[in-house]
C-alpha cells in the first residue's frame, strides 16, 4: 500500500496510555486509485451504506473516512484493517465488535474535506467537526435549538464572532450527544455550553461527568471532543504523516 497509508508502516501498534485521548486530523480528498484501495478494505455493511449515497462527493468522502478509520484502528489493534468488525448502538453509533476483545473506543466526524478521529481506551467518547461558513445563519438555528443562555450570549457578540461561536458551541453539543450514543434524541437545548469555552464539564442525568474540549483543528473549522470522565490528556496527530502535532494542541485554561 506504500506511501498512501503511512501508518501501516508503523512497526509497533500505537500505544494508548491510560487517560490519553488521541485526536487524528485527516484530509479526505484522494485520487480515485487511493479511494479504490480504501474501498477494498471496507466490509459488506460499509459498502451497502456506500452504495446508497446519491452524491458522488459525499460517497467518496464516506469511503475515505471509513478507510482511514479502519487503517487507524488497525494500527492501534495491530490488525489488518479489512478484518476489523464493527457493531452499532441503538442510535447507530459504531463501536468495535466484541470479537476484538478491546477496550478501545473511537468516534469519527467529517465536514467538508476534513475529518477527525478520536480514540481512547475504556470510556465513551464523541467528536465533531464543522466547517465554519461565514454566510451561515447560525443564530437562526441557535434560536431553534440552543438553550436560552446560549442564545442570549450569542446575541451579544458581533456577527462574525457570533458565527464562530455558534460553530464552537454546535460542535461541542454534537460531540456530547455523540459521546452519549443517543444521537439527536437528546434535546440540544437541554444543556448549556459556555461560549468561548476551552474545556468544560457536563453532567448527565445519572450524575456522570463528561469532559468537553474545544479543538483548534485548522483555520476555517471548529471542532470538539467529549469523553466520559475527567482529567483527559489530549494528543493530536496528523494522519497523513503520523506525526504528533504540538502546535495545535489546545491549551486548557
Partner 1 sequence: MFEEVIDRRVARNESLGVQPPVQIRLSLEGEVEIGPLRAALQKIAERSGRPRESFQHSNGDGNGNGTAARAVRIPWQEHDLRGLPKDQARKWISSFLETDGLQGISGERFPQMRWALLLTDQKECELIWSLHPALCDRVDMQRHIAELEAACRSEIRIIERPIERPVRPQTRKPEEAEGAIRATQDESVQDNRAEKELIAIWETVLNTKPVKATDDFFDLGGHSLLAARLLARIEDALGVELPLASLLEAPTIRGQAQLVRKYRGKVELEDYDKKPHKIVQQLPFFFLGGDPTFRPLSQRLSELREFHSLGLRASLIGKLKDQGSLESIAEQFVQSIRERRPEGPYMLGGWCAHGLLAYEIARQLQAQGQKVAQLLLLETVNPVRMKQYSGWKRTIARTQLKLHLLKFEYAYLQQLNSTQTRSYIAGRTAQKVARLRQSLRRVLKATKFYPELEEASAGNPLDTLYAASAKYHPRPYRGPVVLIRSTKRTFGFGHVLDLGWSEVLGPNLEICETPGNHYTIYMEPNVNALANKMDLCLRKAEAAAVAPRNNH
| Nearer to partner 1 (CB atom), residue 63 or residue 234 | 63
CB nearer to partner 1: give 20 or 131: 131
What is the length of the chain? 253
Helix (H, G, I), strand (E, B) or coil at 28: coil
Q: For residues 183-202, b (16+ Cβ closer than 10 Å) or e, as one string? A: eeebebbebbbebebeebeb
Site for partner 1 in 22-41 (CB under 8 A): none
Examine residue 151 and tell whether it contacts partner 1 (CB under 8 A): yes
Q: How far apart are the first and last CA of the chain?
A: 42
Residue 54 engages partner 1 in binding (rule: CB under 8 A): yes
Q: Is 144 among the residues that bind partner 1 (CB under 8 A)?
A: yes
Residue ranges in 216-245 that form contacts with partner 1 under rule CB under 8 A: none
The region of 99-107, 138-146, 198-206, 210-218 touching partner 1 under the rule CB under 8 A is 138-146
Q: Is 30 left (phi over 0), alpha (psi -120 to 50) or beta?
A: beta
Report 58-117 residues binding partner 1 (CB under 8 A): 58, 91, 111
Q: Is 192 left (phi over 0), alpha (psi -120 to 50) or beta?
A: beta
Among 130, 150, 168, 228, binds partner 1 (CB under 8 A): 130
Of the candidate residues 112, 145, 216, 240, the single one contacting partner 1 (CB under 8 A): 145
| Residue 88 DSSP SS3 | strand
- Tell me the closest approach of the beta carbon of residue 214 to partner 1, in angstroms: 17
Q: Is residue 159 part of the contact set for partner 1 (CB under 8 A)?
A: yes
d(CA 187, CA 41): 36
164 counts as binding partner 1 under rule CB under 8 A: no
**What torsion do the CA atoms of 62, 63, 65, 70 make, to the nearest 10 degrees?**
140
Spatial contact of 7 and 239, defined as CB atoms under 8 Å apart: yes
Binding status of residue 46 toward partner 1 by CB under 8 A: no
CB of 79 to partner 1, least distance (A): 29
Measured CA to CA, the distance from residue 106 to residue 96 in angstroms comes to 8
Q: Minimal distance in Å, beta carbon 130 to partner 1?
A: 6
Residues that bind partner 1 (CB under 8 A): 52-55, 57-58, 91, 111, 130, 137, 139-141, 143-145, 148-149, 151-152, 155-156, 158-159, 162, 170, 174, 183-185, 187-188
Amino acid at each position: 500500500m506504500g506511501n498512501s497509508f503511512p501508518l501501516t508502516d508503523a512497526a509497533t501498534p500505537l500505544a494508548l496510555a491510560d487517560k490519553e485521548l488521541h485526536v487524528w486530523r485527516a484530509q479526505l480528498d484522494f485520487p480515485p486509485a487511493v479511494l479504490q484501495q480504501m474501498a477494498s478494505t471496507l466490509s459488506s455493511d460499509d459498502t451497502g451504506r456506500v452504495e446508497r449515497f446519491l452524491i458522488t462527493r459525499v460517497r467518496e468522502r464516506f469511503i475515505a473516512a471509513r478507510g482511514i478509520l479502519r487503517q487507524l484502528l488497525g494500527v492501534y489493534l495491530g490488525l489488518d484493517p479489512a478484518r476489523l468488525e464493527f457493531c452499532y448502538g441503538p442510535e447507530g453509533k459504531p463501536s468495535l465488535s466484541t470479537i476484538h476483545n478491546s477496550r478501545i473506543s473511537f468516534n469519527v466526524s467529517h465536514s467538508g474535506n476534513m475529518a477527525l478521529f478520536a480514540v481512547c481506551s475504556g470510556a465513551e467518547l464523541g467528536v465533531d467537526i464543522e466547517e465554519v461558513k461565514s454566510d451561515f445563519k447560525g443564530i437562526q438555528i441557535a434560536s431553534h435549538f440552543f438553550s436560552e443562555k446560549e442564545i442570549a450570549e450569542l446575541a451579544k457578540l458581533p456577527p462574525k464572532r457570533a458565527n464562530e461561536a455558534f460553530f464552537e458551541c454546535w460542535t461541542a453539543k454534537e460531540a456530547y450527544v455523540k459521546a452519549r450514543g443517543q444521537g439527536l434524541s437528546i434535546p440540544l437545548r437541554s444543556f448549556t455550553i459556555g461560549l468561548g469555552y476551552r474545556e468544560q464539564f457536563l453532567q448527565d442525568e445519572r450524575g456522570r461527568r463528561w469532559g468537553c474540549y474545544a479543538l483548534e483543528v485548522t483555520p476555517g473549522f471548529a471542532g470538539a471532543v467529549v469523553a466520559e470522565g475527567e482529567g483527559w490528556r489530549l494528543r493530536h496527530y496528523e494522519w497523513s504523516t503520523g506525526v504528533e502535532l504540538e502546535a495545535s494542541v489546545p491549551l486548557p485554561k
